[in-house]
Chains A and B, each alone.
Chain A
Amino acid sequence: MGAPGAFDEIWGHGGPERPRAEFAALSQWLAETDAAELQRRQQSAEAAFRQLGITFAVYGDTEAAERIIPFDIVPRVFLAGEWQRLSEGLVQRVEAINAFLEDIYGERRILKEGIIPPELIYLNEQFRAEVDGVRPPHGVWAHICGIDLVRTGPDAFYVLEDNARTPSGVSYMLENREAMIRLCPELFRDFRVAPVDSYPDMLLKTMQSVAPGNNPRPVCVVLTPGHFNSAYYEHSFLADSMGVELVEAADLVVDDDVVWMQTIAGRVKVDVIYRRIDDDFLDPLVFRPDSMLGVPGIMAAYRAGNVAILNAPGNGIADDKAIYSYVPEIVRFYSGGEAKLPNVETYRCREPQALKYVLDRLPELVVKLVDGSGGYGMLVGPTATKAQIEEFRAALVAEPHRYIAQPTLALSTVPTLVEQGLAPRHVDFRPFVLTGSDGVRVAPGGLTRVALREGSLVVNSSQGGGTKDSFVLLDDGA
């Protein structure tokens, strides 16, 4: 079982015998479908993923450079009402993130009014002076956001992390759905599930909407670091399903402040770039000079307003873990209202009182490095060994400003197929939110990650997590 008392999204608190009222039908499907049959379907899905090459590389794991992420056949389901409320919170949050970025690289009202300590911005490496004073085409900064959420009850969602740089995982949303439709067609007959296959169209429209000038047929491309990158499948998948070129840095040249791609018939002007490489590697003339993945001069073209870059360079300041704890204030400052989606309560270890509190309660808390990612540099107090806790205590005392801490939440679970049959496993959720010049849209689905080990709260694919399809129901009346 998961954490004692955890809320199961299908079974509620009552177990398989007494599921949540709205999920009686789904629970019945689970009970009636033979576990061996579910296993067979799951294996079939994973075999298909392997053949397609939907793989990822685990950091630091050279032995098995290419693996597939385990797929779980039991879907995670959102009711229409739940989704509606969630979407409103997501739209509000992403609008605030865009407004914050526009402000922080422009007037900086939020600093002048003392909402955020200026040193958190100016001494943060994610604040990029190189884009200070630049306004991206159409004023959109965070075009594609992945907001990581956790849940503790029917309407209790919390934001764990914002991803406003190059969030990945959307290909799993689409491929998992493909697999589910093929393997469990009966579910789509019995439930009205919102389709997710329009995502590539939504993304392309978003890209076209932010093209500089009034070009009715802008040339859009996806920029990848190359096929050795762990998310390369996703890059090629997105380019392919949008019908745009997948380019590498060597395909692009900048001349006269304009970006061109090199084709067999010569150069073609590029208007919009969905880049899947980090700021650091974007332009060796401006950021890391040793970058082989970057395009020299691309930032000059961007500054000149001749190309749109998605997401905008410099966005890291908005999703930085040190800034995260201020997002509710950021939402209030720009929207004038309270955040509809709360943060997980967060202790800023840079503040002496908070540090004392955290040091006193390390075994209960989750401690995170503000500049870490992928579940690395993280302490999960309740499951950590004494030695691990002491290691973190020393690190915290030495450099408190590098850490934040959060209470351990009773994360929700979803029934998951394990060796012994169905059992609750903890999940998180990453919905994808697109912002174009014409507004903000939430894709009706997302990436559900599941911690496959019993009781584990770590869902990262690099640490043994799997994925599930995420259904959004069109109505609750089923």
Chain B
Amino acid sequence: MRIAIEHRTTYRFSEPQARIVQMLRLTPCDTQDQTVVSWLVGVDCDARLRDASDGYGNAVTMLYAEGPIEALDITVTGEVLTSESSGVVRGSAESLPPLYYLRATPRTKASDALFAFASDSIGAGRDPLEQLHALNAALHQRFPCVPDLPDAGCTAAKAFEGSRKVSSRDVAQMFIAAARGLAVPARYVSGYRAEEAARSAPHAWAEAQVEGLGWVGFDPSTGLSPDESYVRVAIGLDASGAAATGGMRIGQGQEQLAVDLHVDQLGVEE
């Protein structure tokens, strides 16, 4: 599938900022089933951009801008070719072994309730892949409608209580917390999914390590594995570790963040 992405992040500040440093994880990497045809990260002010990678193998862009800055506009445009792989990740650059992804983080620590839910949903005696699919489906059933929302910093355990609006990020973290609780290495994926509607945040799902297959994607917001409409951008232990943008500003006042995101399938008649 040929996918076009336009992802615009706009910060507006109530007072001019003296300096901004941002770390952006906005650039996908090639895998066997994902080829980046073109990709461009642009900024609307006088800023310096530096490419690097982090310890997880993600492509990272450092953004440095000097003030006075009243607004900052980060635009990503690109095209990616994908192929169907039934959710199995093939040919990704892996710097850390699966074992590492058993680590719990503050945001992915399972609560008793979440762990009990996971144990119930996987049943007994089936093979690990089936168990993970069962967990994925159960989470989808429990949280059937989860939009992509900006990160509110919520933990998996807190989100599972269901008292606040649950996003694709939250269910992905729940899946990860539950899988790790079952001694299955799991990680967070941030990326894009071709859909008609415009959105206000990237999509989020999870990957778990399955004997014989390697990393396999699970998207609890659909209850299915990712298909060729998905573009993987960054991985991490949790949502914070794979955040698309994050940074520090030196200056007074409030900040307003707006995201405008279009992910379209190309070459298909509407």
Contacts and interface: CB of A to CB of B under 8 A. Distances in A.
Indicate if A touches B (C-beta under 8 A).
yes
A254 B64 contact: yes
A285 B23 CA distance: 7
Interface string B87-100: 00000000111011
B55 interface: yes
A296 B248 contact: yes
Contacts of B103: 122-123, 125
A300 interface: yes
Interface stretch (B46-54, B71-79, B113-121, B162-170): B46-54
Which has the most chain B C-beta neighbours within 10 Å: A122, A131, A253? A122
B52 A300 contact: yes
A122 B97 CA distance: 8
B31 interface: no
Given A122-B97, A285-B21, A255 B52 contact: no
A269 to B, nearest CB: 14
Interface in B97-130: 97, 99-100, 102-103
Interface string B1-44: 00000000000000000010111000000000000000000000
A255 B21 CA distance: 8
Interface of B: 19, 21-23, 48, 50, 52-56, 60, 62, 64, 66, 95-97, 99-100, 102-103, 240, 246-248
Contact of A133 (B48, B55, B247): B55
A247 to B, nearest CB: 16
A184 interface: no
B64 A129 contact: no
B246 A300 contact: no
Nearest to A300: B62
Which has the most chain B C-beta neighbours within 10 Å: A123, A128, A254, A300? A300
A254 B56 CA distance: 22
A289 B52 contact: no
Contacts, number: 69
Interface string A125-164: 1001111111000000000000000000000000000000
A119 B99 contact: yes
Given A129-B96, A296-B248, A304-B50, A254 B21 contact: yes
Nearest to B185: A122
Interface string A237-268: 00000000000000001111100000000000
A130 B97 CA distance: 14
18 contacts: A118-B99, A122-B99, A122-B103, A123-B99, A129-B96, A130-B55, A132-B95, A255-B64, A256-B50, A256-B64, A285-B246, A286-B23, A286-B54, A289-B246, A296-B21, A296-B247, A296-B248, A304-B52
Interface in A271-310: 284-286, 289, 296-297, 300, 303-304
A256 B50 CA distance: 7
Which has the most chain A C-beta neighbours within 10 Å: B23, B54, B62, B247? B62
A283 B255 CA distance: 21
A183 B211 CA distance: 70
A296 B66 CA distance: 14
A123 B105 CA distance: 11
A119 B21 CA distance: 35
Nearest to A256: B48
A408 B248 CA distance: 49
B62 A131 contact: no
Q: Name the 10 nearest CB pairs between A and B, nearest first.
A: A129-B55, A132-B55, A296-B248, A122-B100, A296-B21, A256-B48, A122-B99, A297-B21, A285-B23, A300-B62
Interface string A329-354: 00000000000000000000000000
Contacts of A129: 55-56, 95-96, 100
Contacts of B50: 256-257, 300, 304
A73 B160 CA distance: 62
Contacts of A296: 21, 247-248
Contact of A118 (B48, B53, B97, B247): B97
A254 to B, nearest CB: 6
A130 B54 contact: yes
Which has the most chain B C-beta neighbours within 10 Å: A129, A132, A254, A255? A129
Given A131-B55, A257-B52, 14 more contacts: A118-B99, A122-B100, A128-B55, A129-B55, A133-B55, A133-B95, A255-B48, A284-B248, A285-B22, A285-B247, A286-B23, A289-B246, A296-B21, A300-B60
Nearest to A257: B50
A304 B51 CA distance: 10
Nearest to A253: B19
Nearest to A285: B23
A120 B56 CA distance: 19
Nearest to B250: A253
A36 B23 CA distance: 63
Contacts of A303: 52
Nearest to A130: B55
A142 to B, nearest CB: 19
B203 to A, nearest CB: 22
Nearest to A301: B62
A418 B22 CA distance: 57
A125 B106 CA distance: 12
Contacts of B66: 255
Contacts of A133: 53, 55, 95
Contacts of B23: 285-286, 297, 300
Interface string A371-404: 0000000000000000000000000000000000
